[in-house]
Structure 1
C-alpha cells in the first residue's frame, strides 16, 4: 500500500491539468496585424479580428450574407511601446486576442524608416507570434486604409493579401520575406535585409485595392528606400529566387516594335568574387530556360537565326533588370542586399578580414560583371505564326 500511495503522489505531481486552457468563445481570432509609429513616436497596432457570427451567416445560403455585414472588425491601439499598445486592447475588447492563426505582419512606412528593431524584439519574445509570419511593408497609404479595403474577392482583406503573397512565391514578381529570414539576415555579417512591399492603390483619395509588388530595401533594421518590380526581379535573379515568372520584351529580333512574352521554366545563378591585390570584383552568371507563350509579330520560329535573336533579346532584358537592381542597392541606397560581402568572406576569408572594416566604403564602387545565357526551349504548339488571308 505504501508503494502504491507513493506512486499516486508522484503521478499527481506530474499532472499539469488545464491551467492554461482558453475557451474558443473567449478568443478574438486575429487575421492581420499591422504595426506603425505616429508623429509623437507612439507605437500603434491595428488588428483585423474575425466576427464569427457574421462569418458563419455570410457563408450560408438564402442571401443572408448581405444583411449580416462584413465578417470582421478593425481595432487600433497605441502605447509607449508595442507591448503596452498590445495590452491596451484589453480595455476595449471583450475577448482575448488570439494570434496563432495570423500569418502576416504589416509594417507601416513610418516605422520601417525609423527602424523595426523594437517591433522585432516584441514579436520574437511573444510565443503567440509565428516566426514564419510574412513581413510586409505597406506603402501608399496607412494601415487603417489597408484593413478597410473594400474591393476583395475574399471575405476579408487579410485573406486576399495572403493569397497575393503565396502567388508571388510562384511567380517571382515581388520579394517574400518572413520573420525568420529577416532576423537571420540581420545576424549575417554585412548582408542587408529586403522585405516584400504592398502598395495601396487609391482613387480620388480613397483606397481601392492593394498590389503586392516590388520590395523595400533595409540597412540593418531601417528601411532606406523602395524597389520597383524590375529592380526587385534583378535582385531575385542574382539570389536564385526566380521560378515560373514571366518575361516580356518590347521589340523583335529585327528591331521592330512588338511584344513577345516568355515564361521562365528553369533558372540558376552564381556569384564569384575575384581578388587582385586589394582590388575586388564579382562575376554574376545567370542561366535560364524559357518557353514562348505569346507574340504580336509574325516570326517563323523554324528559323534558327530567329530563335537565336529571341534568346539574345531575353538576355538583354534580364541583364537590364540586374543592372537596374545593382544601380539601386549599390549606388543609390548603398546596401549589400545581395550578399557580395558574404561571398567574399566564404571564398577569401583572409581578404575579407582586411576589408570588412571598410566594406561600407568599398562596396558602392566594386565592379560587378554580369553575363546572362538564355535558352529558348519551346515556342508552344505553333512554330509558325497564323497567317490571315
Structure 2
C-alpha cells in the first residue's frame, strides 16, 4: 500500500509570506492591524503575460491580538500561508511605545515562524512600507533583504531580539527604518536611527549618526569610515577607513564604585586627506592618530552622557558584563540597575594605528604660503 504525499499542498494553493507589518488602528474592539506582504503564484495564462511567475500583493486584517489578525488574514487570502521565506517583521513606533512583548512571544511560539527574520521599527505606518514599491523596482520586503545584507551593524533578527529582551538589563536595540522621497517619483528606504526598548517598550531613539559610536562602546564594531576634522584649522580634515577593531570590556567594582573600561585598538587606513600634512611622515602620522583619538573621545563622551543623563538607559548592555563577572554584587543592585548605570564611571582607552596611506603618499593640497 502506497500512501503518497497525503499532506502535500500544491504551489498554486500557497501564498509565500515575504514581510509582516504591525500597526494600530482606531478600533476599540480590534486595535491591532497585521499587513502581510505576499507572493502568490500566477496561473499559466497570467504567467505568460508577466515577467515574473509570482504576483506580489498585500493583505491586511485587524484583530484583538496578533494571532487572531493573522488567522483572519489567512482566511482572507484563500490560500495556505508559507512562512519559510519571511525575512522581515516591521513594527510601527506607536505599537512599540505600548510594548512588543506579546508580538515577539507570538512569533517565537508560532511553529511556522522563522527566527532569522529581521525586526525593524518605523515612525511611519508599517502597512505603508509593505505597500510602496521602491525605486529599485522591488517591493519593500525584497528591498529589506538587500538592506540587511548591505547595512552594517545592528540588524537584530528575532532570535537575537529575544536574547536582548531576556538579558539581565532588559534593554533591546532595534534598527529604525523609514521611507523618504528622493524626488517626485523615487522613494528610498533609509536607516534613520536605533530604537531603545526597556522591558519591551520603546523609550528612545538614538540618532543614526551615533550608530558606529554605539557599536564601538558595546565592543561590537567590525569596521567603519570616520571623518576627523582638524581642530587647528577650519575646513581641514581627513577620512579614515577603520578596517579592524579590537575591543575589550573590563568591568570592575572598586571601593563601591562601578567602573567599566572599554579598551579599543583601531587599525585604519587613509581614505581621504584634506589637510596639508603628509601621510607618509612618521611624525605627522602621529599627529593624525592623536587627532583621531581626541575626536572620537569627544564623540564617545557625548554618547555616554546621552545614555547616562538624558535617556538613563543602559544601551551598552553593561549589565550583562557585570552580571557575568560579579554575579553576587549584581544581584544586590539588580532592581536599582538604572541608578547604578547613571553613576557608573565609563572609561574609554583608545589606540589608533594608521597603517596604510592608500595608493598615494603625498597630499593633494599645495603647501601653505609662507612655508
TM-score, with structure 2 as normaliser: 0.88
Q: How far does the alpha carbon of each residue in 1:206-245 deviate from its partner, in whole angstroms, 9 at most, with x for none?
A: 9922202431111021111111123332221122221232
Equivalent in the alignment of 2:10: 23
Equivalent in the alignment of 1:7: none
Trace 1:127-146 onto structure 2 (pairs within 5 A).
127-139=111-123, 141-146=124-129
Partner secondary structure for residue 213 of structure 2: helix
The answer as to whether partners of 2:268 and 2:356 remain within 8 angstroms in 1 is: yes
Query: Aligned equivalents of 2:146 and 2:138: distance in 1?
Result: 12
Q: Does residue 41 of structure 2 align to residue 34 of structure 1?
A: no
**CA positional deviation for 1:307:** 1.0
Q: How far does the alpha carbon of each residue in 1:9-45 deviate from its partner, in whole angstroms, 9 at most, with x for none?
A: xxx8xx9864432211101112111112234461111
Partner secondary structure for residue 286 of structure 1: strand
Trace 1:206-285 onto structure 2 (pairs within 5 A).
208-249=187-228, 251-252=229-230, 254-285=232-263
CA change 1:90–1:276 in 2 (3 A) is: closer
* Bigger Rg, structure 1 or 2: 1
Q: Does residue 134 of structure 2 align to residue 155 of structure 1?
A: no
Partner secondary structure for residue 380 of structure 1: coil
CA change 1:50–1:321 in 2 (3 A) is: farther
The answer as to whether partners of 2:249 and 2:260 remain within 8 angstroms in 1 is: yes
Query: Aligned equivalents of 2:115 and 2:230: distance in 1?
Result: 46
Query: Aligned equivalents of 2:366 and 2:254: distance in 1?
Result: 60
CA change 1:207–1:261 in 2 (3 A) is: same
Which sections of structure 1, spanning at least 5 residues, go unmatched?
1-11
Equivalent in the alignment of 1:8: none
Structure 1 runs (4+) deviating above 4 angstroms are: 54-58, 68-71, 202-207
The answer as to whether partners of 1:234 and 1:323 remain within 8 angstroms in 2 is: no
Query: Aligned equivalents of 1:127 and 1:93: distance in 2?
Result: 20
**CA positional deviation for 1:155:** 2.8
**CA positional deviation for 1:247:** 1.1
Q: How far does the alpha carbon of each residue in 1:84-112 deviate from its partner, in whole angstroms, 9 at most, with x for none?
A: 10011134312222211011111111111
**CA positional deviation for 1:204:** 9.5
CA change 1:213–1:205 in 2 (3 A) is: same
Query: Aligned equivalents of 1:113 and 1:342: distance in 2?
Result: 24
The answer as to whether partners of 2:182 and 2:188 remain within 8 angstroms in 1 is: no
Q: Does residue 47 of structure 2 align to residue 47 of structure 1?
A: no
RMSD, aligned CA:
3.0
Q: Does residue 279 of structure 2 align to residue 308 of structure 1?
A: no
Equivalent in the alignment of 1:125: 109
The answer as to whether partners of 1:269 and 1:284 remain within 8 angstroms in 2 is: yes
Q: Select between 253-262 and 154-163 the one with higher mean Cα deviation.
A: 253-262
Query: Aligned equivalents of 2:204 and 2:12: distance in 1?
Result: 43
Trace 1:28-177 onto structure 2 (pairs within 5 A).
28-40=15-27, 42-53=31-42, 71-139=55-123, 141-169=124-152, 172=153, 175-177=154-156
Equivalent in the alignment of 1:179: 158
Query: Aligned equivalents of 1:56 and 1:338: distance in 2?
Result: 55
Query: Aligned equivalents of 1:374 and 1:319: distance in 2?
Result: 12
CA change 1:16–1:378 in 2 (3 A) is: farther
The answer as to whether partners of 1:199 and 1:211 remain within 8 angstroms in 2 is: yes
**CA positional deviation for 1:158:** 1.4
Partner secondary structure for residue 383 of structure 1: coil
Trace 1:364-383 onto structure 2 (pairs within 5 A).
364-383=342-361
Q: Select between 38-47 and 376-385 the one with higher mean Cα deviation.
A: 38-47
TM-score, with structure 1 as normaliser: 0.84
Equivalent in the alignment of 2:275: 297
Q: How far does the alpha carbon of each residue in 1:162-208 deviate from its partner, in whole angstroms, 9 at most, with x for none?
A: 21111123xx4xx2111111111222212411111112224799992
The answer as to whether partners of 2:251 and 2:325 remain within 8 angstroms in 1 is: yes
CA change 1:323–1:378 in 2 (3 A) is: same
**CA positional deviation for 1:387:** 6.2
Which sections of structure 2, spanning at least 5 residues, go unmatched?
none
